[in-house]
C-alpha cells in the first residue's frame, strides 16, 4: 500500500465512521517502532507504522487509523482528545477503533547477545553491546576479559 492509497483509505474511514472530512495528510513512517500510529498536534497530520500492515492484517490497520482519527477529530473540535479523556474513550468505542496497537517484531539487532569470559576466574558476562576489552576487566577478580561467543536469538 502506498501513501496515496493510505490517504484515500483514511479519508473514506473518516467520512463513513466519523461523518467528517479528513483535510490533512497521512503517511507511513518507517521510524515508528513501538506504536501503531501518531497524531501530530501542530500539523494535524497522522503517521502510521508500516509494520501494522506488513506484520498484521488490514482490519488491524483500520483499527489503528480509527484510533488516530479519534485524536484528530476530537482535537479539532476542542474536546478531550487524550487517552485518559472520557470523550476519547466514548468515541473510540463508538467507531470500534483499536485501544492498543498489537506488538511488532523486535529487530534482529536487539536479539544479539555477546558472551564475555574472564580469563582468570572464568566468570561469564552476557551483554547486548560490545565492550572495550582494553578498558574493562572482571568485576570479581580483576582479570582480563575476552569475547567467547556471539548468540543470535
Mean pLDDT of 23-39: 94
pTM as predicted: 0.71
Are 71 and 43 in contact, with CB atoms under 8 Å apart? no
Percentage, residues of the chain above pLDDT 70: 96
Mean pLDDT of 7-33: 95
pLDDT above 60 for 57: yes
User: Is-catalytic flag, 5?
Assistant: no
To the nearest whole number, what is the mean pLDDT of the chain? 92
Pick left, alpha or beta for residue 38 (phi over 0 → left; psi -120 to 50 → alpha; otherwise beta). beta
| Torsion angles phi and psi, residue 145, rounded to 5 | -105, 155
Question: Distance (Å, rounded) from C-alpha 52 to C-alpha 58?
Answer: 8
Mean pLDDT of 113-142: 94
- What integer pLDDT is reported at residue 151 of this predicted model? 80
- What integer pLDDT is reported at residue 112 of this predicted model? 78
Amino acid at each position: 500500500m502506498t501513501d496515496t492509497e493510505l490517504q484515500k483509505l483514511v479519508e473514506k474511514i473518516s467520512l463513513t465512521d466519523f461523518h467528517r472530512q479528513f483535510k490533512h495528510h497521512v503517511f507511513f513512517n518507517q521510524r515508528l517502532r513501538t506504536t501503531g500510529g501518531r497524531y501530530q498536534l501542530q500539523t494535524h497530520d497522522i503517521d502510521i507504522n508500516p509494520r501494522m500492515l506488513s506484520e498484521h492484517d488490514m482490519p488491524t490497520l483500520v483499527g489503528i487509523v480509527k484510533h488516530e482519527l479519534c485524536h484528530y477529530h476530537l482535537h479539532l473540535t476542542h474536546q478531550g482528545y487524550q487517552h485518559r479523556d472520557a470523550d476519547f474513550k466514548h468515541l473510540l468505542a463508538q467507531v470500534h477503533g483499536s485501544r492498543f496497537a498489537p506488538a511488532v517484531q523486535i529487530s534482529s539487532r536487539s536479539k544479539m547477545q555477546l558472551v564475555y569470559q574472564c580469563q582468570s576466574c572464568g566468570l561469564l558476562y552476557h551483554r547486548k553491546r560490545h565492550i572495550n576489552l582494553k578498558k574493562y576487566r572482571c568485576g570479581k577478580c580483576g582479570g582480563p576479559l575476552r569475547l567467547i561467543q556471539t548468540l543470535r536469538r
